[in-house]
Structure 1
Amino acid sequence: MAFQSGEVSTDELIEAQAYVWNHTFAFVNSVSLKCAIQLGIPDAIHKHGHPITLSQLVESLHADHTKSQCIHRLMRLLVQSKFFTQDTTQEEARYWLTPASRLLLRKASLTVAPLVLLILDPILTEPWFHMSEWLTNERHLTPFEAAHGSMFWERMAHESGLGSLFEEAMRTDSRLVAHVLVRDYKHVFEGIKTLADVGGGTGTMAKAIVDALPGIKCLVLDLPHVVAGLESTHKLRYVGGDMFEAIPAADAVLLKWIMHDWDDDKCLKILKRCKEAVGTGGKVMIIDVVVDVKREDDKVVEDQLYFDMAMMTYFNGKERSEKEWAKLFSDAGFTSYKITHAFGVRSLLEAYP
């Protein structure tokens, strides 16, 4: 019910206040999660091998014992957020991992910890506080530029530590996506002998593909300084270049988490280069978000909208709806496309000339 003067019940008023508070303090979940990773809480519990008591956790973290109750309060919130479970049936409560906190193990093959630390780095959180300034001012292309006086990629080039964290976050994300792709969607590679992984960095995705599919050869196209010094093999070749200028010929082109960094004009240029590369019989495979606010999973939609706001804030990019993707494909000269909701928040889009 919409609030009207004098017609608001006490329950509605209190519920509305709690709702506003919940969203106001939502950042506390994020920074608490970051703190848990920095302290090594998931790793300490995993190393312990079975549910751990608070005193054992404090000891393993080498935390200040006078702050043990503060660790308890941190864990209480993280249990409420379902990052850990708590067994209270024994004299002293014990904490254990959930599927979500297993993804925070720093040395796990499918860890997402680097991406959490990247997004919550002060350099990436500061631009969010400049959004209203940016929206009412023509001087800056992005909130990131409003905050730092330079664009995202310029700043990354001068922040070696953050640049390394960004690369690690992209590698670990590619490892997780590749794990799902080659395990559950091998059929999308049928008939493909050569694959160009555009913007593929040091080749995490390409390596997983050629290891799982012996009949495919991959090339990784990225900027010259990214692939400099990387050794090519018979099945995996590195090529320095610019995707806006040319993409080497291949049966298929893969773009994983590339398109959302760019506006429509830039994406159109990329797609036209892709179409030239695959010819009439190939296809372009895109792993990215397809925004669908009508999906039943509220968490997925919420994540998609979070990513869309992040792309606006950092890059002047965007996440796209199916209608927006279809227009891009059509404008680039593709005749058809297919969407498979394969990765939760993200999808696999296949575009055909």
Structure 2
Amino acid sequence: MSLSAEKRCLSLGFIGGSIDSAVGHTHQIASQMDGRWQLVAGCFSRNKSVNDKTAAEWGLSSERTYSTYKALIEKEQGKLDAIVVLTPTPSHTDIVIAALDAGYAVICEKTLSTSSQEALLIEESVKRNNGFLAVTLNYSGYPMMRELRRIIKAGDLGRVQQIQIEMPQEGFIRLDAEGNQTQPQAWRLRDNTVPTISLDLGIHLHHIIHYLTQERPVDVVADQASYGWFKDVVDSVTCMLRYTDDIRCQMWFSKTALGHRNGLKVRVFGDRGSAEWLQVQPEELLLSYINGKREIVDRASFVSEACLPRYNRFKAGHPAGFIEAFANIYCDMADCYFEYKNTGTYTSREVYGVSHAVEGLQLFEAIALSVKKRCWVSI
């Protein structure tokens, strides 16, 4: 395939992700920000009015706007480079498998499914179709997160010993501007074997630890609670984990931590140095060393990864934010797609698929079991 062909704009169809959804507009912007993808078809909502309104606002023709995902899959065969699945997590499995079996490349919003059993069914579909599947996990798209991974891999922190990672939010306990309780989407208020908060927040923390270290969870002890308005669902989870290479991790994620909009914090401790990154200050990485030296680095510092042109849509000092991180992931997925079309498979340090999803779901199943048994559980 020629270089010009590999740089052509790829065509996307959305299933879910209307303008009324939590993630639709983010994906619509992020996917097209660098001109690598173009949204040309969609089934955005089962509500006809919302579906039509979304298509009109995003410039899609009525001929390529569908009332059901099955109609989109049937009618768009041979016309799309990929389908993006943006429906609530509990509906992912059937849609993803249907798209893979129809020959589509599939990009799926996290979490891939609600259980490892479902994820294994998707994995079977990937294998039998020699299919392309990528799961969007956007926090590793931040330039300084990628710089931190480079620092760890280079051994600048020495041998990694401990990781403390947290994602506190307040949505299940904070009042809105009128003094009313917030009302999340209905699917977020139902727990199964794995509490929905683990699928919603915890899966990001699992991904970040693996992204930075390439290590995997071995066993875990955990506790969980419900503190907010919705007593039938878990809204706070705390756990200690042992990872391969003898790394110890502490993980906390919550939707009842007042004062935190999204308090994602990552702290990595090695035997020669440590690093700290906060999403609320995404441009800065705090490094501390065994000799007492401390420094703050950003994209304008003498760094190797975060200074690359692809991460600098505007000059340093103007933060690379949430949507830009998503756009980085979409660029990565475009590269993987072309590799897949050329070779039948793809390899990437940035794009994760079904096996990563299976591992994450198995981890959170073990966390739920640990809470139930009140003991360490092997993963």
Judge same fold: TM > 0.5, yes or no: no
**Structure in which a larger fraction of residues adopt strand:** 2
Higher Cα radius of gyration: 1
Larger RCO (CA within 8 A; separation ≥ 6):
2
- The TM-score normalised by the length of structure 2 is 0.27
**Structure in which a larger fraction of residues adopt helix:** 1
